[in-house]
Amino acid sequence: MDYYLQETEAVFKDQTTTENGLSAAEAQTRLAKHGWNKLVEGKRKSLLPRLLGQMADPMVIVLIVAAAVSGVVGEVADTVIILMVVVINAVLGVVQEGKAEKAIAALQKMASPYSKVRRDRHIISVKSEEIVPGDLVLLEAGAAVP
């Protein structure tokens, strides 16, 4: 549902909430059902699994086979060049993965730690990770969107 195209009442009905916000009990129920409002942090892989992951690419496998064939037929120079390309590709891939992880960590730090929501007819401040589907989040100029 494209909420920005809908009438307010239709959105309230779809999210089973009202203009007064959720009750505290309903918010707790939804938190238990849907979980925390935060990005799931994956387990970081060490260097060796990252390198092996880069080698699992089908194109890299083709290059390794080509290097093996070149070595068997006696083309040592071709073998060395192909293997250098494979190693450089793997190193660059691992570096890019590291940069992507750092970018995700930076985005998580930018997230607003607290947000204003309407619950039980009152505007309260809650941890952004405690926002649940159906919460009425109040945004102000300059505030970060949770």
The predicted-structure confidence for 64-116, as pLDDT tens digits, reads as follows 999 999 999 999 999 999 999 999 999 999 999 989 888 888 877 777 788 99
Report the pLDDT value the prediction gives residue 4, as an integer from 0 to 100: 84
71 and 60 in a common domain: yes
**In terms of domains, do 66 and 82 share one?**
yes
Range of the domain at 54: 47-109
Query: Looking at the structure, do residues 73 and 34 belong to the same domain, yes or no?
Result: no
Task: Return the pLDDT at 110.
Answer: 75
Predicted confidence band at 3 (pLDDT cuts at 50, 70, 90)? confident
Residues 33 and 85 in one domain: no
What pLDDT sits at residue 113?
85
Give the pLDDT of residue 131: 93
Do 76 and 91 touch, CB atoms closer than 8 A?
no
- Domain assignment of residue 143, yes or no: no
pLDDT at 16: 87
Q: Does some domain include residue 145?
A: no
Over residues 132-143, the mean pLDDT reads 88
Identify whether 146 is part of a domain. no
Q: Are 75 and 83 in contact (CB under 8 A)?
A: no
CA atoms within 13 A on the CB side of 22: 19
- CA separation for the pair 116, 122 (Å, rounded): 10
**Phi, psi (rounded to 5 degrees) for 48:** -60, -50
Q: Hey, which residues does 97 pair with through a beta bridge?
A: none
Total domain count, the chain = 2
Whole-number Å distance between alpha carbons of 106 and 39: 12
90 and 52 in a common domain: yes
Same domain, 51 and 102: yes
Q: CATH number for the domain including 14?
A: 2.70.150.10
Cβ atoms of residues 128 and 116 within 8 Å: no
Residues 7-46 pLDDT 10s: 988 888 888 888 889 999 999 999 999 999 887 777 778 8
Do 16 and 54 have their domain in common? no
116 and 105 part of one domain: no
CA dihedral 61, 63, 69, 73 (to 10 degrees): -160
